[in-house]
Chains A and B, each alone.
Chain A
């Protein structure tokens, strides 16, 4: 292979690298936008679950908003990177070499993951609450609760919403229709499903970053001190 052929070969392989980079950027964008999509579903659901969870989902809502904002920012970033990769690939290389850019994308990944962790914690809390109200196993709980158990659970949710509420007042509130007598199994299962969606969304966001963003440049170093 002479000098010219070698230069041509290098140039050709560079083109292929850029092509695969563009595909990588596109895949990362799709994953980030998918995560943002699920994040927004979680925002809707967690707002609607406020009466069901006795106010605890209000905090989850803000976490879901933070996570979906992070995923949406990654989605925006994905479109910017894809456009840059198509029209000015050296700009992406320049961005990747900047420390502040790496810090921002890492921060966005962490926020997305924090959303997933919060969703996981909320799921655990809900399952614990369900377990405290039932003698059933976790898998049986996830399948459904009896009418009496649902009633007890509803009362516990109202109590946790208003600590110190008396039984008489609780009965009056239920009687007047201001609080439900019992939450349906569908409502409880949907609440759990929603939290799972949030967790999947954040994992997708992290996956997107691992594919084309900053997480793929992270490395875990293991070292051992050797005694001389």
Chain B
């Protein structure tokens, strides 16, 4: 591992973790803005529906991200395609919406979504998922070894 990718003892390498945090921030911004504009423009949703849907998305989003922090490649893929889907759904809005404010908001969300898609596809993000995956596998392995050792010790005690 390169010098800059060496982590502290408690956290994953800062470069890798920074990439994850950047992606999460970009996705939250992209999702928040694009979902609001989409719901307003496509469905003319009431504010109540808007808040309900975004809260539901945020909870699922956090659960998926939590699984990524535990080293799930599947969840990383889900996030990647989630950002791609939102981007595709947002593009037609560029031809529908009217007003400067909408354009600014939509451009910001598209920038955030495309950036996060590129970052998730990148090597650094995948390295983080691999790092976390290995880390939790090691903990699991160590626990199993210790449990076996404990069992053996208890059996020896009983024999005596």
List A residues at the B interface (Cβ < 8 Å): 33, 36-37, 40-41, 43-45, 47-52, 65, 68-69, 72-73, 75-80, 83-84, 86-88, 91-92, 94-95, 98, 101, 104, 162, 165-166, 169, 172-173, 178-179, 184, 186-187, 190-191, 194
Question: With A72-B24, A184-B9 given, can you name 12 additional A-B contacts, CB distance below 8 Å?
Answer: A40-B65, A40-B69, A44-B20, A72-B58, A73-B58, A76-B54, A79-B28, A79-B31, A84-B47, A92-B47, A169-B149, A190-B11
Q: Establish whether residues B36 and A84, one from each chain, have CB atoms under 8 Å apart when the complex forms.
A: yes
Which A residues lie within 8 Å of B8 (CB)? 186, 190
Q: How far is the CB of B106 from chain A (nearest CB, A)?
A: 10
Q: When A44-B17, A86-B105, A178-B142 are in contact, do A77 and B51 touch as well, CB less than 8 Å?
A: yes
**Distance between Cα atoms of A111 and B40 in the complex (Å):** 29
Closest to A194 in B: B10
Q: When A51-B139, A86-B101 are in contact, do A44 and B150 touch as well, CB less than 8 Å?
A: no
Q: Interface residues of B: mostly helix, strand, loop or mixed?
A: helix
**Distance between Cα atoms of A58 and B18 in the complex (Å):** 23
Q: When A40-B65, A41-B17 are in contact, do A33 and B10 touch as well, CB less than 8 Å?
A: no
**Which of A79, A178, A186 counts the most chain B CB atoms within 10 A?**
A79
Closest to A168 in B: B153
Considering only residues 87-135 of chain B, those with a C-beta below 8 Å from chain A are 99, 101-102, 105, 135
Q: Interface residues of A: mostly helix, strand, loop or mixed?
A: helix
Closest to B7 in A: A48
Which B residues lie within 8 Å of A77 (CB)? 32, 51, 54-55, 58
Q: Establish whether residues B62 and A178, one from each chain, have CB atoms under 8 Å apart when the complex forms.
A: no
B85 at the interface (CB under 8 A from A): no
Considering only residues 9-53 of chain B, those with a C-beta below 8 Å from chain A are 9-12, 17, 20-21, 24-25, 28-29, 31-33, 35-37, 40, 47-48, 50-51
**Distance between Cα atoms of A178 and B142 in the complex (Å):** 7
Which A residues lie within 8 Å of B33 (CB)? 79, 83
Q: How far is the CB of A22 from chain B (nearest CB, A)?
A: 10
**Distance between Cα atoms of A101 and B40 in the complex (Å):** 19
Interface size class of B (residues with CB under 8 A): 35 or more
B146 at the interface (CB under 8 A from A): yes
B82 at the interface (CB under 8 A from A): no
Closest to A105 in B: B51
Q: When A41-B21, A75-B28 are in contact, do A190 and B10 touch as well, CB less than 8 Å?
A: yes
B57 at the interface (CB under 8 A from A): yes
Q: Establish whether residues A79 and B32, one from each chain, have CB atoms under 8 Å apart when the complex forms.
A: yes
Q: Establish whether residues A78 and B32, one from each chain, have CB atoms under 8 Å apart when the complex forms.
A: yes
Q: Establish whether residues B61 and A72, one from each chain, have CB atoms under 8 Å apart when the complex forms.
A: yes
Q: Establish whether residues A48 and B66, one from each chain, have CB atoms under 8 Å apart when the complex forms.
A: no
**Distance between Cα atoms of A83 and B70 in the complex (Å):** 33
Which A residues lie within 8 Å of B145 (CB)? 178
B1 at the interface (CB under 8 A from A): no
Q: When A44-B17, A77-B54 are in contact, do A83 and B36 touch as well, CB less than 8 Å?
A: yes
Which A residues lie within 8 Å of B58 (CB)? 69, 72-73, 75-77
Q: When A75-B28, A94-B47, A186-B9 are in contact, do A169 and B55 touch as well, CB less than 8 Å?
A: no
**Distance between Cα atoms of A79 and B54 in the complex (Å):** 10
